[in-house]
Structure 1
């Protein structure tokens, strides 16, 4: 049976979720589909970006928390998350394979400039400053999200609902600034501000919500999704507050075919909804949906 473009791309992203990208020099075999045929909708892209077909690209990644690029605890050589799934699906569409090369976050841009890697997949903000050295193909809006008790007993649907509640705050995080702005708004509306219990790290804040000592905890949306998955009997990922930043795959600015081909594959997934499906699969909020774009100097 021949699949529609949407069915094909959804199948690619779901298939990618069941695989892992391997480090240690082993390539992730990015076949176009389970039967070896190019998925419908990808054929014109393979023709237009034929120089990518059959290539293997080295991908630099600093795996960490947040469902972007996570280390597989069962196999530390493997990376899983939203970005590996998207990149594998793009590889199957365009005919390329990837080899993941774990390294420190601050070494990623120097590695791409030196030619050691071809792509960056590490939950990296596509900022104007970084774009002076590396081009980006964006795929997701960065956001803060709430970690709330399972079932949302306090009916917290947005920051406006936090007035008078108990918040678990982690010292020195940007989320404290977001909460401070909201507290000022609460007071201006004649409502009590949220009361903060301050903790040194995320683990203590998470436990405060799990144990009912706090009503919610603000953190990166990817971390919120991961925490909700880890403690699915006690916690949920709640509302999201989108930021002005976007996550993107970093690419050598001189590799224009890879930049444009990757963007075209992501646009195909964006237009048919499969990119949003993948984001939802990894627990990201609808507010983070973003039309892919190329960011370059």
Structure 2
């Protein structure tokens, strides 16, 4: 996205049609496009209809419907296809396929990443899929079904004129980041390290939308942005000659479908439906569809949180 918040660690091949619609939205919303390269992956490949083979959870907000919270500003994982005004992305395709295995209609409820966990806790929706990195802090309050491996990385101007490779290089510089994310936490920690070393703090511009964060870099208002590696790779891919990755991917960790703590019915259904889309090939096909690597798949092991 570059005009139409994320997680501890974080990656394509969208169709030209999606790119055209995406960039026109960018131009309209931001005035200055961040690039004109070919977008990797399709706008969305509808998941072939599958017969239900997993028992649905017993505590859905609305019977027959899986209500899913997502911050749909995180291309290519979850975002708005401006041509069709529908939610698309790897996460969206995955949760829809899982819903089919349970015989449920899937409804995506757009929400902000800085409120998404409170909204789930308050039962605004049944589950969350939104590139949520699994970490110890979040595991205290929620259960997870891991489905994707990611990391964190810097996006910088082409040529990396300031030679930025790590958070330690950002002292005194302007950096864009999305609110509520683990990258924001990392930049806060980095600022403390800078100051302990007698260097100036990292100057953060914190925005609600990842699209708007990257637009800061496109407009030259920041020296770098910090986000999950799939997002870094996506923007670098669709903007050839404008951006590049600064340094290497760090802090690798899994994304997880997020379930309220001790909601065993929901967790069991999520785990079993995820196992179902893995065993029938749907999961593998999504990686091909969206151009992700095999290294970004979770191993075929049940979550330690799952209920047998």
User: TM class, shorter-chain normalised?
Assistant: 0.5 to 0.7
TM-score in terms of structure 2 length: 0.56
Contact 1:69 1:81 in 2 (8 A): yes
Residues of 1 paired with 2:43 and 2:93: CA distance?
5
Unaligned runs of 5+ in 2: 1-40, 178-182, 188-203, 206-212
Counterpart among 47, 57, 69 of residue 60 in structure 1: 69
TM-score in terms of structure 1 length: 0.57
Residue-by-residue CA offset, 1:150-178 (whole Å, 9 max, x unaligned): xxxx9xxxxxxx9xx9668884476999x
Residue 23 of structure 1 is matched in structure 2 by none
Matched, 1:83 2:91: yes
Residues of 1 paired with 2:104 and 2:281: CA distance?
22
Residues of 1 paired with 2:285 and 2:236: CA distance?
18
Higher strand fraction: Structure 1 or Structure 2? 1
Change over 3 Å in CA distance of 1:231–1:118 after alignment to 2: same
Matches of residues 129-144 of structure 1 in structure 2 within 5 Å? 129-144=137-152
SS of equivalent to 1:264: helix
1:142 CA displacement: 1.6
Matched, 1:250 2:277: no
User: How many pairs are equivalent?
Assistant: 226
Matched, 1:294 2:308: no
SS of equivalent to 2:298: coil
Residue 106 of structure 1 is matched in structure 2 by 114
Residues of 2 paired with 1:280 and 1:144: CA distance?
22
Unaligned runs of 5+ in 1: 1-13, 20-31, 155-161, 178-198, 209-216
Residue 277 of structure 2 is matched in structure 1 by 269
Residue-by-residue CA offset, 1:94-115 (whole Å, 9 max, x unaligned): 2112211112212222222222
Residues of 1 paired with 2:244 and 2:288: CA distance?
14
Residues of 2 paired with 1:261 and 1:15: CA distance?
28
**RMSD of aligned Cα (Å):** 4.4
SS of equivalent to 1:294: coil
Contact 2:101 2:276 in 1 (8 A): no
Change over 3 Å in CA distance of 1:90–1:18 after alignment to 2: same
